[in-house]
Chain A
Amino acid sequence: MAVSTKTTTDEFIKGLWKDNPVFVQVLGMCPALAVSNTARNALAMGLATAFVLVMSNMVVSSLRSFIPKEVRIATYILVIATFVTLVDYVIQAISLDLYKALGAFISLIVVNCLILGRAEAFASKNTIARSTMDGLGMGVGFAFALFSIGAVREIFGAGSLFGVSLFHDAFQDWVVMVLPSGGFFTLAGWLLLFNWIKQRKAQRERAATLSLTEEAAR
Protein backbone atom coordinates (compact mmCIF):
# COMPACT_ATOMS: atom_id res chain seq x y z
CA MET A 1 0.00 0.00 0.00
CA ALA A 2 1.32 3.41 -0.95
CA VAL A 3 0.08 4.85 2.31
CA SER A 4 2.64 2.93 4.34
CA THR A 5 5.54 4.98 2.91
CA LYS A 6 4.01 8.19 4.25
CA THR A 7 5.03 9.73 7.55
CA THR A 8 2.43 10.74 10.11
CA THR A 9 3.08 14.39 9.24
CA ASP A 10 2.07 13.64 5.65
CA GLU A 11 -1.19 12.18 6.97
CA PHE A 12 -1.84 15.46 8.74
CA ILE A 13 -0.94 17.73 5.84
CA LYS A 14 -2.95 15.91 3.18
CA GLY A 15 -6.23 16.79 4.90
CA LEU A 16 -5.38 20.47 4.99
CA TRP A 17 -4.81 20.97 1.30
CA LYS A 18 -4.36 18.11 -1.17
CA ASP A 19 -7.33 16.05 0.07
CA ASN A 20 -9.27 18.86 1.76
CA PRO A 21 -12.62 17.32 2.78
CA VAL A 22 -14.75 20.20 1.48
CA PHE A 23 -12.79 21.74 -1.39
CA VAL A 24 -11.36 18.54 -2.88
CA GLN A 25 -13.41 15.58 -1.66
CA VAL A 26 -16.65 17.62 -1.49
CA LEU A 27 -17.80 15.72 1.62
CA GLY A 28 -19.92 16.91 4.54
CA MET A 29 -21.83 19.39 2.42
CA CYS A 30 -24.85 19.62 4.73
CA PRO A 31 -23.08 21.40 7.62
CA ALA A 32 -20.70 23.18 5.22
CA LEU A 33 -23.64 24.95 3.59
CA ALA A 34 -26.13 25.14 6.44
CA VAL A 35 -24.07 26.36 9.40
CA SER A 36 -21.63 28.64 7.57
CA ASN A 37 -23.71 31.83 7.64
CA THR A 38 -21.33 33.50 10.08
CA ALA A 39 -17.63 32.99 10.75
CA ARG A 40 -18.28 32.14 14.41
CA ASN A 41 -20.86 29.44 13.69
CA ALA A 42 -18.72 27.98 10.92
CA LEU A 43 -15.62 27.81 13.07
CA ALA A 44 -17.49 26.30 16.03
CA MET A 45 -19.09 23.68 13.79
CA GLY A 46 -15.72 22.94 12.18
CA LEU A 47 -13.99 22.49 15.53
CA ALA A 48 -16.83 20.33 16.90
CA THR A 49 -16.59 18.10 13.82
CA ALA A 50 -12.79 17.99 14.08
CA PHE A 51 -13.00 16.85 17.71
CA VAL A 52 -15.45 14.07 16.86
CA LEU A 53 -13.32 13.05 13.88
CA VAL A 54 -10.09 12.79 15.90
CA MET A 55 -11.73 10.92 18.77
CA SER A 56 -13.64 8.48 16.56
CA ASN A 57 -10.55 7.82 14.43
CA MET A 58 -8.56 7.11 17.59
CA VAL A 59 -11.14 4.74 19.07
CA VAL A 60 -11.92 2.95 15.81
CA SER A 61 -8.22 2.46 15.09
CA SER A 62 -7.49 1.12 18.57
CA LEU A 63 -10.41 -1.33 18.35
CA ARG A 64 -9.75 -2.36 14.76
CA SER A 65 -8.82 -5.95 15.61
CA PHE A 66 -11.61 -6.25 18.18
CA ILE A 67 -14.51 -5.27 15.89
CA PRO A 68 -15.67 -8.00 13.48
CA LYS A 69 -16.28 -6.66 9.99
CA GLU A 70 -19.96 -7.72 9.98
CA VAL A 71 -20.85 -5.22 12.70
CA ARG A 72 -18.24 -2.57 11.98
CA ILE A 73 -20.52 0.16 10.60
CA ALA A 74 -22.96 -0.17 13.52
CA THR A 75 -20.10 -0.02 16.00
CA TYR A 76 -18.50 3.00 14.29
CA ILE A 77 -21.82 4.87 14.36
CA LEU A 78 -22.16 4.05 18.06
CA VAL A 79 -18.71 5.48 18.75
CA ILE A 80 -19.35 8.58 16.61
CA ALA A 81 -22.78 9.19 18.18
CA THR A 82 -21.24 9.01 21.65
CA PHE A 83 -18.68 11.71 20.91
CA VAL A 84 -21.31 13.88 19.23
CA THR A 85 -23.49 13.64 22.35
CA LEU A 86 -20.51 14.67 24.48
CA VAL A 87 -19.85 17.67 22.21
CA ASP A 88 -23.53 18.58 22.47
CA TYR A 89 -23.40 18.73 26.29
CA VAL A 90 -20.06 20.52 26.35
CA ILE A 91 -21.23 23.25 23.94
CA GLN A 92 -24.35 23.76 26.07
CA ALA A 93 -22.12 24.14 29.10
CA ILE A 94 -19.75 26.56 27.36
CA SER A 95 -22.23 28.91 25.71
CA LEU A 96 -26.01 28.75 25.34
CA ASP A 97 -25.86 31.40 22.62
CA LEU A 98 -23.57 29.26 20.53
CA TYR A 99 -25.80 26.25 21.19
CA LYS A 100 -28.81 28.25 20.04
CA ALA A 101 -27.04 29.18 16.80
CA LEU A 102 -25.78 25.70 15.93
CA GLY A 103 -29.10 24.18 16.93
CA ALA A 104 -29.96 20.86 15.40
CA PHE A 105 -26.78 20.66 13.35
CA ILE A 106 -24.68 19.41 16.26
CA SER A 107 -26.62 16.14 16.40
CA LEU A 108 -26.33 15.83 12.65
CA ILE A 109 -22.54 15.48 12.93
CA VAL A 110 -23.36 11.79 13.55
CA VAL A 111 -24.35 11.34 9.92
CA ASN A 112 -21.58 13.51 8.47
CA CYS A 113 -20.23 11.19 5.79
CA LEU A 114 -16.72 12.58 6.31
CA ILE A 115 -16.45 11.04 9.80
CA LEU A 116 -17.81 7.61 8.94
CA GLY A 117 -15.79 7.75 5.72
CA ARG A 118 -12.49 8.29 7.56
CA ALA A 119 -13.35 5.60 10.13
CA GLU A 120 -14.11 3.06 7.41
CA ALA A 121 -11.50 4.01 4.81
CA PHE A 122 -8.59 4.93 7.04
CA ALA A 123 -8.83 4.34 10.78
CA SER A 124 -9.98 0.72 10.47
CA LYS A 125 -6.79 -0.11 8.53
CA ASN A 126 -4.09 2.05 10.13
CA THR A 127 -2.24 2.51 13.41
CA ILE A 128 -3.53 4.78 16.17
CA ALA A 129 -0.87 7.44 15.60
CA ARG A 130 -1.50 7.57 11.87
CA SER A 131 -5.28 7.60 12.31
CA THR A 132 -5.11 10.38 14.87
CA MET A 133 -3.03 12.52 12.54
CA ASP A 134 -5.37 11.74 9.66
CA GLY A 135 -8.37 12.78 11.76
CA LEU A 136 -6.60 15.92 12.94
CA GLY A 137 -5.61 16.90 9.39
CA MET A 138 -9.06 16.24 7.96
CA GLY A 139 -10.71 17.97 10.92
CA VAL A 140 -8.56 21.07 10.70
CA GLY A 141 -9.03 21.07 6.90
CA PHE A 142 -12.80 20.86 7.38
CA ALA A 143 -12.80 23.66 9.98
CA PHE A 144 -10.62 25.79 7.69
CA ALA A 145 -12.98 25.22 4.75
CA LEU A 146 -16.06 26.04 6.83
CA PHE A 147 -14.38 29.15 8.15
CA SER A 148 -13.46 30.25 4.60
CA ILE A 149 -17.09 29.92 3.53
CA GLY A 150 -18.47 31.45 6.73
CA ALA A 151 -16.12 34.45 6.68
CA VAL A 152 -16.99 35.37 3.08
CA ARG A 153 -20.72 34.98 3.75
CA GLU A 154 -20.62 37.07 6.91
CA ILE A 155 -18.50 39.84 5.36
CA PHE A 156 -20.83 40.27 2.39
CA GLY A 157 -24.10 39.28 4.02
CA ALA A 158 -23.83 41.16 7.30
CA GLY A 159 -20.90 43.53 6.73
CA SER A 160 -19.03 42.11 9.72
CA LEU A 161 -16.55 39.43 10.77
CA PHE A 162 -16.97 37.61 14.10
CA GLY A 163 -19.70 40.16 14.81
CA VAL A 164 -17.32 43.14 14.43
CA SER A 165 -18.66 45.62 11.92
CA LEU A 166 -16.24 46.16 9.03
CA PHE A 167 -17.84 48.76 6.82
CA HIS A 168 -19.39 52.18 7.03
CA ASP A 169 -23.07 52.28 8.02
CA ALA A 170 -23.93 53.01 4.40
CA PHE A 171 -22.95 49.45 3.45
CA GLN A 172 -26.05 47.67 2.18
CA ASP A 173 -26.01 44.05 3.45
CA TRP A 174 -25.99 41.54 0.64
CA VAL A 175 -28.66 39.43 2.36
CA VAL A 176 -28.61 36.62 -0.21
CA MET A 177 -25.17 35.65 1.10
CA VAL A 178 -26.47 34.60 4.53
CA LEU A 179 -29.41 32.75 2.96
CA PRO A 180 -28.91 29.15 1.79
CA SER A 181 -28.25 30.21 -1.81
CA GLY A 182 -25.30 32.31 -0.61
CA GLY A 183 -23.73 29.12 0.74
CA PHE A 184 -23.82 27.57 -2.71
CA PHE A 185 -22.42 30.72 -4.38
CA THR A 186 -19.54 30.94 -1.91
CA LEU A 187 -18.74 27.23 -2.11
CA ALA A 188 -18.74 27.46 -5.92
CA GLY A 189 -16.38 30.44 -5.74
CA TRP A 190 -13.91 28.60 -3.51
CA LEU A 191 -14.07 25.43 -5.62
CA LEU A 192 -13.36 27.52 -8.70
CA LEU A 193 -10.33 29.09 -7.04
CA PHE A 194 -9.00 25.74 -5.79
CA ASN A 195 -9.39 24.06 -9.16
CA TRP A 196 -7.79 26.99 -10.94
CA ILE A 197 -4.75 26.84 -8.63
CA LYS A 198 -4.50 23.07 -9.11
CA GLN A 199 -4.77 23.33 -12.88
CA ARG A 200 -2.18 26.09 -13.09
CA LYS A 201 0.22 24.04 -10.99
CA ALA A 202 -0.27 21.00 -13.24
CA GLN A 203 0.29 23.11 -16.36
CA ARG A 204 3.53 24.52 -14.94
CA GLU A 205 4.77 21.06 -14.07
CA ARG A 206 3.94 19.84 -17.57
CA ALA A 207 5.77 22.80 -19.11
CA ALA A 208 8.80 22.16 -16.90
CA THR A 209 9.06 18.48 -17.86
CA LEU A 210 8.56 19.41 -21.52
CA SER A 211 11.43 21.92 -21.49
CA LEU A 212 13.62 19.38 -19.68
CA THR A 213 13.01 16.73 -22.35
CA GLU A 214 13.62 19.31 -25.09
CA GLU A 215 16.93 20.27 -23.50
CA ALA A 216 17.93 16.63 -23.23
CA ALA A 217 17.05 16.07 -26.89
CA ARG A 218 19.29 18.93 -28.03
Chain B
Amino acid sequence: MSRALPASPAPTSTWHMYRAMVGVGVCCGLLIVGVFQATRPVIERNKAEALQSAIFQVLPDATASTTFRLRDSGDFAPVDGSAAGGDGEPLVYAGYDDDQKLVGLAVEAQGMGYQDVIRLIYGYSFADEAIIGTQVLESKETPGLGDKIETDPGFLENFERLDVSLAQDQSSLAHPIVPVRHGNKTQPWEVDGITGATISSEAIANILNQSAQQWIPRIQRNLQDFQGGE
Protein backbone atom coordinates (compact mmCIF):
# COMPACT_ATOMS: atom_id res chain seq x y z
CA MET B 1 0.00 0.00 0.00
CA SER B 2 2.86 2.33 -0.65
CA ARG B 3 1.27 3.89 -3.68
CA ALA B 4 -1.42 6.52 -3.21
CA LEU B 5 -4.77 6.00 -4.87
CA PRO B 6 -5.30 8.11 -7.99
CA ALA B 7 -7.04 11.37 -7.16
CA SER B 8 -10.76 11.19 -7.88
CA PRO B 9 -11.99 13.72 -10.46
CA ALA B 10 -13.47 16.93 -9.10
CA PRO B 11 -17.17 16.53 -8.24
CA THR B 12 -19.65 18.04 -10.68
CA SER B 13 -21.28 21.23 -9.51
CA THR B 14 -24.88 21.00 -8.34
CA TRP B 15 -25.83 23.54 -10.99
CA HIS B 16 -24.76 21.17 -13.76
CA MET B 17 -26.77 18.33 -12.31
CA TYR B 18 -29.88 20.49 -11.96
CA ARG B 19 -29.38 21.86 -15.44
CA ALA B 20 -29.23 18.37 -16.96
CA MET B 21 -32.15 16.88 -15.05
CA VAL B 22 -34.50 19.86 -15.22
CA GLY B 23 -33.61 20.55 -18.85
CA VAL B 24 -34.23 16.96 -19.93
CA GLY B 25 -37.34 16.79 -17.74
CA VAL B 26 -38.92 19.90 -19.25
CA CYS B 27 -38.20 18.76 -22.83
CA CYS B 28 -39.60 15.28 -22.10
CA GLY B 29 -42.71 16.78 -20.49
CA LEU B 30 -43.39 19.00 -23.48
CA LEU B 31 -42.94 16.08 -25.86
CA ILE B 32 -45.37 13.89 -23.91
CA VAL B 33 -48.01 16.63 -23.72
CA GLY B 34 -47.65 17.31 -27.45
CA VAL B 35 -48.09 13.68 -28.47
CA PHE B 36 -50.92 13.20 -25.96
CA GLN B 37 -52.81 16.15 -27.43
CA ALA B 38 -52.18 14.93 -30.98
CA THR B 39 -53.28 11.33 -30.39
CA ARG B 40 -56.20 11.94 -27.98
CA PRO B 41 -58.90 12.58 -30.59
CA VAL B 42 -57.82 9.49 -32.54
CA ILE B 43 -57.78 7.31 -29.40
CA GLU B 44 -61.22 8.55 -28.36
CA ARG B 45 -62.59 7.94 -31.84
CA ASN B 46 -61.13 4.40 -31.81
CA LYS B 47 -62.75 3.68 -28.47
CA ALA B 48 -66.11 5.03 -29.58
CA GLU B 49 -65.92 3.01 -32.82
CA ALA B 50 -65.02 -0.16 -30.93
CA LEU B 51 -68.00 0.35 -28.60
CA GLN B 52 -70.31 1.16 -31.51
CA SER B 53 -69.30 -1.97 -33.42
CA ALA B 54 -69.70 -4.05 -30.25
CA ILE B 55 -73.25 -2.70 -29.82
CA PHE B 56 -74.21 -3.73 -33.36
CA GLN B 57 -72.48 -7.08 -32.83
CA VAL B 58 -74.65 -7.95 -29.82
CA LEU B 59 -77.81 -6.45 -31.35
CA PRO B 60 -77.59 -7.81 -34.91
CA ASP B 61 -80.92 -6.29 -36.05
CA ALA B 62 -80.05 -2.77 -34.95
CA THR B 63 -78.88 -0.16 -37.45
CA ALA B 64 -78.74 2.87 -35.14
CA SER B 65 -78.15 3.35 -31.45
CA THR B 66 -78.75 5.95 -28.76
CA THR B 67 -77.06 6.13 -25.40
CA PHE B 68 -79.22 6.40 -22.28
CA ARG B 69 -78.17 7.24 -18.77
CA LEU B 70 -79.87 5.90 -15.65
CA ARG B 71 -80.96 8.93 -13.63
CA ASP B 72 -81.09 9.08 -9.85
CA SER B 73 -84.89 9.08 -10.09
CA GLY B 74 -84.69 5.54 -11.50
CA ASP B 75 -85.68 6.30 -15.10
CA PHE B 76 -83.58 6.67 -18.25
CA ALA B 77 -82.71 9.82 -20.20
CA PRO B 78 -80.93 10.03 -23.57
CA VAL B 79 -77.36 11.30 -23.55
CA ASP B 80 -76.01 13.63 -26.23
CA GLY B 81 -73.46 12.13 -28.60
CA SER B 82 -73.67 8.50 -29.59
CA ALA B 83 -71.79 5.87 -27.61
CA ALA B 84 -70.33 8.35 -25.15
CA GLY B 85 -69.03 5.64 -22.85
CA GLY B 86 -67.69 6.74 -19.49
CA ASP B 87 -66.05 4.85 -16.67
CA GLY B 88 -68.53 3.84 -14.02
CA GLU B 89 -71.39 5.81 -15.55
CA PRO B 90 -74.64 3.86 -15.59
CA LEU B 91 -75.20 3.83 -19.35
CA VAL B 92 -77.20 1.55 -21.63
CA TYR B 93 -77.33 1.64 -25.42
CA ALA B 94 -80.67 1.27 -27.16
CA GLY B 95 -80.63 -0.22 -30.66
CA TYR B 96 -83.18 0.67 -33.36
CA ASP B 97 -83.86 -0.84 -36.76
CA ASP B 98 -84.44 1.01 -40.04
CA ASP B 99 -88.06 1.80 -39.07
CA GLN B 100 -86.92 3.45 -35.81
CA LYS B 101 -88.37 0.50 -33.93
CA LEU B 102 -86.64 -0.45 -30.69
CA VAL B 103 -85.03 -3.87 -31.13
CA GLY B 104 -83.09 -4.20 -27.92
CA LEU B 105 -80.63 -2.79 -25.47
CA ALA B 106 -76.91 -3.28 -25.13
CA VAL B 107 -75.63 -3.20 -21.56
CA GLU B 108 -72.07 -3.16 -20.29
CA ALA B 109 -71.12 -5.42 -17.39
CA GLN B 110 -67.98 -6.37 -15.61
CA GLY B 111 -66.69 -8.74 -12.96
CA MET B 112 -63.71 -10.71 -11.80
CA GLY B 113 -62.36 -13.39 -14.13
CA TYR B 114 -59.44 -15.74 -13.57
CA GLN B 115 -56.66 -13.19 -14.03
CA ASP B 116 -58.29 -9.80 -13.90
CA VAL B 117 -61.55 -7.96 -14.43
CA ILE B 118 -63.51 -9.04 -17.52
CA ARG B 119 -65.54 -6.29 -19.20
CA LEU B 120 -68.22 -7.29 -21.63
CA ILE B 121 -71.29 -6.00 -23.39
CA TYR B 122 -74.47 -7.99 -23.97
CA GLY B 123 -77.53 -7.48 -26.08
CA TYR B 124 -81.01 -7.82 -24.55
CA SER B 125 -83.94 -8.44 -26.85
CA PHE B 126 -87.39 -7.28 -25.71
CA ALA B 127 -89.19 -9.59 -28.11
CA ASP B 128 -87.39 -12.71 -26.91
CA GLU B 129 -86.86 -11.60 -23.29
CA ALA B 130 -83.43 -13.07 -23.78
CA ILE B 131 -79.76 -12.19 -24.12
CA ILE B 132 -79.04 -12.51 -27.82
CA GLY B 133 -75.30 -11.84 -27.98
CA THR B 134 -72.25 -10.98 -25.89
CA GLN B 135 -68.88 -9.56 -26.72
CA VAL B 136 -65.89 -9.34 -24.43
CA LEU B 137 -64.51 -5.79 -24.41
CA GLU B 138 -61.57 -6.33 -22.12
CA SER B 139 -60.02 -9.44 -20.61
CA LYS B 140 -56.63 -10.70 -19.58
CA GLU B 141 -57.63 -14.37 -19.42
CA THR B 142 -54.94 -16.98 -20.09
CA PRO B 143 -54.16 -17.16 -23.83
CA GLY B 144 -55.11 -20.58 -25.18
CA LEU B 145 -57.35 -21.49 -22.22
CA GLY B 146 -59.37 -18.70 -20.60
CA ASP B 147 -59.53 -16.64 -23.75
CA LYS B 148 -61.77 -19.30 -25.29
CA ILE B 149 -64.65 -17.30 -23.75
CA GLU B 150 -64.18 -15.03 -26.77
CA THR B 151 -63.64 -17.65 -29.46
CA ASP B 152 -65.16 -21.03 -28.53
CA PRO B 153 -68.16 -21.45 -30.89
CA GLY B 154 -69.90 -23.89 -28.54
CA PHE B 155 -69.67 -21.44 -25.67
CA LEU B 156 -70.84 -18.48 -27.74
CA GLU B 157 -73.91 -20.50 -28.77
CA ASN B 158 -75.10 -20.11 -25.16
CA PHE B 159 -75.75 -16.45 -25.82
CA GLU B 160 -77.73 -16.76 -29.01
CA ARG B 161 -80.83 -16.98 -26.84
CA LEU B 162 -80.16 -17.00 -23.10
CA ASP B 163 -83.43 -16.75 -21.22
CA VAL B 164 -83.69 -13.76 -18.86
CA SER B 165 -87.49 -13.44 -18.56
CA LEU B 166 -88.71 -11.74 -15.40
CA ALA B 167 -90.50 -13.33 -12.47
CA GLN B 168 -94.17 -12.57 -11.74
CA ASP B 169 -93.41 -9.56 -9.53
CA GLN B 170 -91.14 -8.03 -12.23
CA SER B 171 -88.39 -7.34 -9.68
CA SER B 172 -85.97 -10.15 -10.52
CA LEU B 173 -85.26 -12.81 -13.12
CA ALA B 174 -87.59 -15.81 -13.18
CA HIS B 175 -84.53 -18.04 -13.28
CA PRO B 176 -81.07 -16.77 -12.43
CA ILE B 177 -78.40 -17.43 -15.07
CA VAL B 178 -76.36 -20.37 -13.82
CA PRO B 179 -73.15 -21.93 -15.14
CA VAL B 180 -73.20 -25.70 -15.64
CA ARG B 181 -70.47 -28.17 -16.56
CA HIS B 182 -69.80 -28.66 -20.24
CA GLY B 183 -72.48 -30.84 -21.86
CA ASN B 184 -74.98 -30.59 -18.97
CA LYS B 185 -77.07 -27.68 -20.27
CA THR B 186 -80.76 -28.55 -20.27
CA GLN B 187 -82.51 -25.21 -19.59
CA PRO B 188 -82.43 -21.99 -21.65
CA TRP B 189 -81.08 -20.00 -18.68
CA GLU B 190 -78.07 -22.26 -18.14
CA VAL B 191 -74.61 -21.49 -19.49
CA ASP B 192 -72.71 -24.50 -20.82
CA GLY B 193 -69.12 -24.16 -19.55
CA ILE B 194 -65.82 -24.76 -21.36
CA THR B 195 -63.56 -27.65 -20.40
CA GLY B 196 -60.17 -26.18 -19.47
CA ALA B 197 -61.62 -22.72 -18.91
CA THR B 198 -64.01 -23.47 -16.06
CA ILE B 199 -63.32 -20.34 -14.02
CA SER B 200 -63.45 -17.94 -16.96
CA SER B 201 -66.67 -19.42 -18.38
CA GLU B 202 -68.32 -19.44 -14.95
CA ALA B 203 -67.20 -15.85 -14.47
CA ILE B 204 -69.05 -14.84 -17.66
CA ALA B 205 -72.26 -16.52 -16.44
CA ASN B 206 -71.97 -14.83 -13.05
CA ILE B 207 -71.23 -11.41 -14.53
CA LEU B 208 -74.28 -11.74 -16.80
CA ASN B 209 -76.47 -12.93 -13.94
CA GLN B 210 -75.46 -10.09 -11.64
CA SER B 211 -75.90 -7.45 -14.32
CA ALA B 212 -79.19 -8.87 -15.67
CA GLN B 213 -80.68 -9.11 -12.16
CA GLN B 214 -79.87 -5.46 -11.65
CA TRP B 215 -80.68 -3.98 -15.06
CA ILE B 216 -83.45 -5.95 -16.72
CA PRO B 217 -86.19 -5.25 -14.12
CA ARG B 218 -85.29 -1.55 -14.29
CA ILE B 219 -85.29 -1.55 -18.08
CA GLN B 220 -88.66 -3.31 -18.26
CA ARG B 221 -90.17 -0.83 -15.77
CA ASN B 222 -89.03 2.11 -17.90
CA LEU B 223 -89.63 0.65 -21.32
CA GLN B 224 -91.41 3.78 -22.57
CA ASP B 225 -88.21 5.85 -22.06
CA PHE B 226 -86.54 4.03 -24.95
CA GLN B 227 -89.40 4.05 -27.46
CA GLY B 228 -88.72 6.21 -30.50
CA GLY B 229 -85.58 7.60 -28.90
CA GLU B 230 -83.79 8.28 -32.18
Q: How far is the CA of A71 from the CA of B50 in the complex (A)?
A: 44
* Chain B stretch 11-46: residues in CB contact (< 8 A) with chain A: 11-12, 16-17, 19-21, 23-25, 28, 31-32, 35-36, 39, 42-43, 46
- How many chain-A residues does the 8 Å CB contact rule pick out? 32
Q: How far is the CA of A92 from the CA of B138 in the complex (A)?
A: 14
Shortest CB-to-CB span from B101 to chain A, Å, is 31
Q: Specify which of B19, B43, B196 is in contact with A92 (CB 8 Å cutoff).
A: B43
Do B143 and A96 touch (CB < 8 A)?
A: no
* Max chain B Cβ within 10 angstroms of own Cβ: one of A79, A92, A93: A93
Q: Mark B1-16, 1 if CB is under 8 A from A, else 0.
A: 0000000000110001
Q: Specify which of B12, B28, B31 is in contact with A70 (CB 8 Å cutoff).
A: B12
B25: A residues at CB distance < 8 A: 78
B196: A residues at CB distance < 8 A: 175
Interface of B is mostly: helix
> Do A82 and B144 contact each other (CB < 8 Å), given the known contacts A68-B17, A93-B42?
no
Q: Specify which of A37, A81, A89, A103 is in contact with B39 (CB 8 Å cutoff).
A: A89
Do A71 and B32 touch (CB < 8 A)?
A: no
Q: How far is the CA of A69 from the CA of B13 in the complex (A)?
A: 11
> Do A179 and B32 contact each other (CB < 8 Å), given the known contacts A68-B12, A69-B12, A96-B50?
no
A37: B residues at CB distance < 8 A: 143-144
Interface set of A (CB-CB < 8 Å, partner B) = 37-38, 63, 66-71, 74-75, 78-79, 81-82, 85-86, 89-90, 92-93, 95-96, 100, 103, 157-158, 173, 175, 177-179
Interface set of B (CB-CB < 8 Å, partner A) = 11-12, 16-17, 19-21, 23-25, 28, 31-32, 35-36, 39, 42-43, 46-47, 50, 138, 140, 142-145, 196
